[in-house]
Structure 1
């Protein structure tokens, strides 16, 4: 669903309170009854005109089955996050500059800094995929895609904070709900688009990053040419950490081997470059699969 930018910036305080009430109730209700919205918002108003306005803006969706109520949409969740960030210093939300399996990337300006706005979109993958790869659902009987996207963003912020001093990852300026405000890397492009690459420098740095994360007790889990940025000087930045796991995870060994092989295979196929160097990790952990 495309976000209504005009409505995002002009939404009233009352509409935000109603939208927030629906969000709160959505923790336990897929469709929120109007009486519950009234109770949570504590507003003594004519709700109808505001609900109609929110539905026209596509921030809420009216549902009549199995009972009358309202559903918070992805755009409505975006609106709540953006209005919170706007109060903290977000000045500009620019054009979309990237799209992934589980995120949308926009250009922005926050407190005078050029930034990236990363919207987590977990609903693009099936629940089975999320359940197999992530522990976000925490055995909840009901967990909406919006909730899972929020947890995904929180996880990524945590991992970026952990790795900030050890490897080249984006600085996080702020985050709210499922949206992260992070550092904008000028003149960097995804590795798969790069043509002039210092192979030895980049390959070895990537393998060293895998080793550093391993020594810190983690595996990236999706370490590939789409999540590695590079500039003309072959400097490297690593992005996209929500799927990162610690070594206690039963699948960490599988992900570690997959990460190493992704880099080796990419360099061999894209650049016809081979290198026997791999991270200095106990062979018993790698299990002879490299």
Structure 2
């Protein structure tokens, strides 16, 4: 979960980027295996987390970029990557989620200096929300570990309406996220940068009942092939990977899926 691990780094309140993804967290069963795997694949370093021995903060060049929590077995939660969105009020966002058919798995609860909750949309895709100072500056976080997220769902436009109302996208409040349409995807922008996409297939196609809705976390890397080789060497897999491809889905040794995408020149 997001919390302030960046004392002295110029804390940024979540309201300055509200509605945008601001953090990612992995739940796993084996902390040491996760540290070894992601250190090899993404080059992350590790430091202790104030939440206890079951938690670690991943760093890229000294900047906090993600949290790993070895609580999947203890909390009976799925092994998975989860994105967190910055909100002005965790209580109000969670209430809007429930009012629109979503559910609350955890919280909202106080996690000083902020409040957080783990939610699911009405199709079952899990996401988190965070109210309070960010771990580090939002732009600094994105530069240190370029990250974007994509929701794979049955109906992109219906999902965009749900998240837009819960997270206050495209509202009249200054600083909110902008929503655009790009072919068969809904695109979310914050400060001009693409930070999320919602995908469900061709616009004219009927919703696909076989899709299990989920948020997928993407990390932008300089060499996709090198990441795949490192993943396989450290107990992970790369389903359907082809050498030289622009992106690859990776699965860590505990079963968590994520994607690496090649860094594109401006």
- Structures share fold, TM-score greater than 0.5: no
Higher relative contact order (CA 8 A, sep 6+): 2
**Greater share of residues in strand:** 2
Which structure is higher in helix share? 1
